[in-house]
Amino acid sequence: MILKNAMKKLPVELVEAAIRRQEAVLLANGSIDAQTGKFTGRSPHDKYFVDFPDCPLPHSMHQWLSEQQFEQLLVRVRQHLEEKGSFLFDGAVNQHPEYRVPVRFYTEYAWHNLFVQRLFLAGKEGEVPAYTVYVAPTLMASPDRDGTRSGTFIVLHTGRRIALIGGTQYAGEIKKSIFSLMHHHLTEQRVLPMHCSASMGEQGDVSLFFGLSGTGKTTLSADPVRRLIGDDEHGWSDKGVFNMENGCYAKCIDLSVKKEPDIYNAIRFGTVLENVGYDGLRNPLFEDRTLTENTRAAYPLKFIRNRVPEGHGGHPTAIVFLSADATGVLPAVARLSPEDARRHYLLGYTSKVAGTERGIVEPEATFSACFGSPFLTERPVQYADMLMERLERYKVPVYLLNTGWVGGGYGEIARIPLTITRQLVHLALSGVLETLPSYRDEELFITVPEHVPGIPDPFLRPATSFADGQVYQHRHQQLAQAFADKLIALGATVASLNKVLE
């Protein structure tokens, strides 16, 4: 069903419409800046899947609405968009032509339509949309009638291939709804969906960087000596790695031309900013935290100078898991056997530190299975098994890189310098770390080089770097126990691991 009042607009027309409708303001650098009101991030507790006959998704993992509840909400969303008017974009996801999926977007706001045009591929003549996304930020659900927790709703129907988004202006919900749908769609085609960045070296070698927010995923993939494939969402098929998107959705808190020149220079006419402050001359104030620390910039990949235009490459030659460990227990770098890689992939470990969230007064271990737990549709072990099969088939080395603190915790010593981290990345990607003598830490599932050329030994030996050895032992024991408890909860048994490795 096509909405009658939906308008197709070019990006420049959407900029005009967003300003005219007072949805956003034009800044001095040419970008538009929108405020998202109450919600400046995702609302994971307001996300639902639809329960339909023979639905293959695991029920214990998700919140559910019935078919009847979905249908009633769908009718209301369509009526709302017909009455308010909407903007239409026929786009697509997945850069590899064999896995390309056409998607139709209806958005109530002009700036949301510009957002999806920045992040996704343009549609082609004659393509029939496989998925449809309806975005109605000013429509609120009724919990009593619709079965929702609140007025906000993100509802995904994998059978009918429809997403409904309402009661929130935060554009990241649109992006991540597509990512969630692709977790199911691509898995059915035996393609591994991945929450990672990807880059390509001069010889065509592909590297992947997995990591949660704040671990350096975007920063490390934006390497001057490598070309960017994508910064966030990828698939790994029998053909190789491809970017699901055609744009970037970068955090821009404290952004500067010195620290992140590629991202800074990508913020220009046609870029969408969210919740960024600005001065009286309409210059963006990237250090402004008035509205949120989760300030964002959405821009097309073509705004990045050093990129892979086709958006895909071959099979990875190296994979890096990133963790910003605030306990100081993890070394700066470690090698992971296939068994280790599976465990750390299921763990998706990093640390929250004091000040990042209300109520956190000391470092707190944080886990997100497959480095993207909120977007998984199937059980984490299924994705882990798919990763293991690929690691074995293509003989891909995997490394764990600590981008946090070594030899002391957050607030006790300085964070690992970015120069050290970048040097370790280059050494890992070159294969040098594979040949070095090492020691084993069985409890944390890592093998650590004893010495690395150019890297001070204290970064490799946390046990000897702590001022108090008993503090190290205590924190090490705590982290090891947290790892073990999490793996047991995920069902990552030795039996399932051995089955994959046979």
Total domains, the chain? 3
Side-chain-side CA neighbours of residue 3 (13 Å): 30
Is residue 191 scored above 70 in pLDDT?
A: yes
Q: Are residues 169 and 225 in the same domain?
A: no
Tell whether 469 and 486 lie within a shared domain: yes
Q: What is the pLDDT of residue 1?
A: 67
- Verify that 159 and 203 share a domain, yes or no: no
pLDDT in tens, 25-54: 999 999 999 999 999 999 999 999 999 999
What pLDDT, on the 0 to 100 scale, is given for residue 496? 43
Q: Averaged over 269-289, what is the pLDDT?
A: 97
Place of tokens 């995997």: 398
Q: Is 29 inside any structural domain?
A: no
State pLDDT tens for residues 152-183.
Answer: 999 999 999 999 999 999 999 999 999 999 99
Q: Is residue 27 one of the residues assigned to a domain? A: no
Pair 274, 413 in one domain: no
Active site residue 184: no
Let me know if 90 is a catalytic residue: no
Question: Domain boundary residue among 153, 188, 223?
Answer: 188
If phi > 0 it is left, if psi is from -120 to 50 it is alpha, else beta; for residue 54 that is: left
As a whole number of Å, the end-to-end CA separation of the chain is 49
DSSP 138-160: T----HHHH--SSS-EEEEETTT
- Residues whose CB is less than 8 angstroms from the CB of residue 158 and which lie 6 or more positions away in sequence, other chains included: 49, 50, 55, 57, 181, 184, 185, 377
Q: Cα separation of 391 and 380, whole Å? A: 17
**Has 176 been annotated as catalytic?**
yes
Q: Which listed residue (47, 96, 157, 217) is catalytic?
A: 217
Those residues whose C-beta lies under 8 Å from the C-beta of residue 255, and which sit 6 or more positions away, are 263, 264, 267, 286, 297
pLDDT (0 to 100) of residue 363 = 65
Which of the residues 184, 296, 343, 390 is marked catalytic?
296
Residue 216 falls inside a structural domain: yes
H or E segment and range at residue 274: strand 272-274
325, 452: one domain: yes
H helix or E strand, kind and range, residue 465:
helix 462-465
Q: What is the CATH number of the domain that holds 327?
A: 3.90.228.20
CB 262 within 8 A of CB 271: no
Q: What is the pLDDT of residue 441?
A: 97
pLDDT at 122 over 50: yes
Structural domain boundaries enclosing 257: 248-303
- How many whole angstroms separate alpha carbon 93 and alpha carbon 424? 33
Mark whether 334 and 405 lie in a shared domain: yes
| 92 within some domain | yes
Residues 268 and 204 in one domain: no
The number of angstroms, rounded, from the C-alpha of 417 to the middle of its chain's C-alpha atoms is 24
Residues in the chain: 502
pLDDT at 493 over 70: no
**Same domain assignment for residues 354 and 371:** yes
When computed from its CA atoms, the radius of gyration of the chain, rounded to whole angstroms, is 23
Residue 58: CB atoms within 10 Å: 12
Whether 165 and 104 map to the same domain: the answer is: yes
Residue-level pLDDT at 358:
40
213 is catalytic: yes
Q: Which of 31, 42, 184, 207 is catalytic?
A: 42
Over the stretch 139-154, which tens digit does the pLDDT of each residue have?
999 999 999 999 999 9
Domain presence at residue 1: no
User: Is the pLDDT reported for residue 288 higher than 60?
Assistant: yes
Same domain for 417 and 487? yes
Please write the tens of the pLDDT for every residue from 344-400: 999 999 987 543 444 444 668 899 999 999 999 999 999 999 999 999 999 999 999
**CATH at residue 13:** 3.40.449.10
Residues 425-457 pLDDT 10s: 999 999 999 999 999 999 999 999 999 999 999
Please tell me whether residues 83 and 156 are part of one structural domain. yes
| 10/112 same-domain check | yes
For 319-336, what is each residue's pLDDT tens digit? Answer: 999 999 999 999 999 999
Asked if pLDDT for residue 78 goes beyond 80, the answer is yes
What residue has token string 């204290």?
458
Of 33, 232, 262, 325, the active-site residue reads 232
């059915």: which residue's tokens?
Answer: 188
Q: How confident is the model at residue 497 (pLDDT cuts 50, 70, 90)?
A: very low
Q: For 95-117, how does the pLDDT look when each residue is reduced to its tens digit (9 = 90+)?
A: 999 999 999 999 999 999 999 99
31, 107, 207, 218: which one is catalytic? 218
Nearest residue to 449 via CA among 350, 331, 340, 342: 331
| CB-based contact 212:368 (threshold 8 Å) | yes
Q: Residue 385 has which token pair?
A: 């098994």
Model confidence at 217, pLDDT cuts 50, 70, 90, reads: confident
Q: Residue 359 has what pLDDT?
A: 44
Last residue of a domain, one of 256, 283, 303: 303
In a domain, 465, yes or no: yes
Residues 67-73: contacts with CB within 8 Å, 24+ apart? Answer: 69/146, 69/147, 70/155, 70/157, 70/164, 72/145, 72/146, 73/141, 73/146, 73/153, 73/155, 73/164
> Quick one: CA dihedral 188, 190, 196, 202, positive or negative?
negative
Whether residue 217 lies in the annotated active site: yes
- Average pLDDT, integer, range 191-209: 96
Is 242 contained in some domain?
no
Residue 31 included in any domain? no
Averaged pLDDT for residues 259-273: 93
Q: What is the CATH number of the domain that holds 274?
A: 2.170.8.10
Q: What is the number of alpha carbons within 13 Å of residue 440 lying toward its C-beta?
A: 5
* In the chain, % of residues over pLDDT 70: 95
- Beta strand pairing status for 6-8 and 86-93? parallel
